[in-house]
Amino acid sequence: MIKGDRLAGRIVFFGELLLRLTAPGRELLLQSGRLDVHVGGAEANVAVGLARLGHDTKMVSAAPDNPLGQAAIDALRGHGVDCSAVQRRDGRMGLYFLTPGAGLRASEVVYDRAHSSFAEAPAGVFDWPALLNGASRLHLSGITPALGPATAAAAIAAAETASALGVPVSFDGNYRARLWESWDSDPKAVLTKLVDHADVLFGNHRDVSLLLGDTFHGDGPERRREAAEAAFAAFPRLKLIASTARHVDDADRHRIAARIDTREGAHQTDEVVVAGIVDRIGAGDAFAAGVLHGLHIGADADWTVRSGLALTCLKHSLPGDASLFGRADIEAFLSGELDVRR
């Protein structure tokens, strides 16, 4: 169970704020000419999830100086995220379009984020020593460096400054091939530089394979442990690797398990059936929020991995990109409460 109940200092997030435009219901994109809009972004989703759990979170980003940028900032502030370090710059808002899956039809994402205010922001405009002063953690993901050379340089500068200041770094692999392929990139080299500063990695054997150029064999847990041990050997700062395993039966029914690997061993949950799925987007970010929540309140690895599983499962019940659940929701999930709470 939980070893302590302390809230750590401010957690800093660096990444792009996005607008998600979704076909309503189970329609195809623009089938009826209508779209639902949600504010998202991988790092922003984790910031919102942790803010809803009572943590002090701060978003570092750049957004256009227009009503779209203001709406995104207002949405994060409404959930308790400090947006004082979100710069207002010329340029456009990053967008992505979602066609939700149905039955045996998979969901599909179309990006429209090239040349956004964030992607075009020079790396040097972020004063990392000041932004990370007093921080308890920096959280990054592989999406930010995939956007282009400027954001890649900024992410590396953030990680290097955090290490110099003694601020722990968590990193979510979030590999997006379409983004990396849009410019003359070297994802392995860039991601390796970032993971080299991380004490927490969100990723599985495929992420480690990309970083190390190795292929891991075996089945299920054995393969993940082999990959984890290789990652621990390659990255001295790394202490914990967190991942989920998802089996998709159809768009409405998934089976999910969660796992934490440390240098000492592994903590694996049982598989949970998630049925009646409303929205699966952002479930990985919810998992990251649940794991970081456990780490920052001093929970042990077993409780921490189950906290991550709780939030990732609960996120499937909620429209939008971010987890909006509180501590009581985690406890209710872990205790198996499914009846109406009065």
pLDDT given for residue 1 in this prediction:
35
Active-site positions read 285
Tell me the pLDDT tens digit for each residue of 84-96.
Answer: 999 999 999 999 9
Among 108, 66, 109, which Cα is nearest to 89's?
Answer: 66
Q: Please say whether the beta carbons of 62 and 41 come within 8 A.
A: no
Based on the number of CB atoms within 10 Å of its own CB, is 204 exposed (0-12), middle (13-18) or buried (19 or more)? Answer: buried
Angstrom distances, CA of residue 43 to CA of 15, 201, 244, 249, 288 = 6, 14, 18, 28, 10
- CB atoms inside a 10 Å sphere around CB 28: 12
**Residue 342 pLDDT > 60:** no
Q: What is the spatial distance between Cα 319 and Cα 232, in angstroms, rounded to a whole number?
A: 36
- CB atoms inside a 10 Å sphere around CB 188: 13
- For residue 102, what are the β-bridge partners? 105
Angstrom distances, CA of residue 67 to CA of 21, 91, 138, 183 = 16, 12, 28, 29
**Residue 2 pLDDT > 50:** no
Q: What's the pTM value of the predicted model, to 2 decimals?
A: 0.95
Tell me the pLDDT tens digit for each residue of 227-236.
Answer: 999 999 999 9
pLDDT given for residue 327 in this prediction:
97
Based on the number of CB atoms within 10 Å of its own CB, is 143 exposed (0-12), middle (13-18) or buried (19 or more)? Answer: buried
pLDDT given for residue 219 in this prediction:
77
Tell me the pLDDT tens digit for each residue of 159-198.
Answer: 999 999 999 999 999 999 889 999 999 999 999 999 999 9
CA torsion through residues 7, 8, 9, 15, sign: negative
Tell me the pLDDT tens digit for each residue of 254-263.
Answer: 999 999 999 9
> Residue 42: what are its φ and ψ, rounded to 5°?
-55, -55
Q: What is the spatial distance between Cα 153 and Cα 288, in angstroms, rounded to a whole number?
A: 24
pLDDT given for residue 218 in this prediction:
76
**Residue 341 pLDDT > 90:** no
Domains of the chain in sequence order: 11-335 (3.40.1190.20)
Q: What is the spatial distance between Cα 79 and Cα 60, in angstroms, rounded to a whole number?
A: 16
State the average pLDDT over residues 109-121. 95
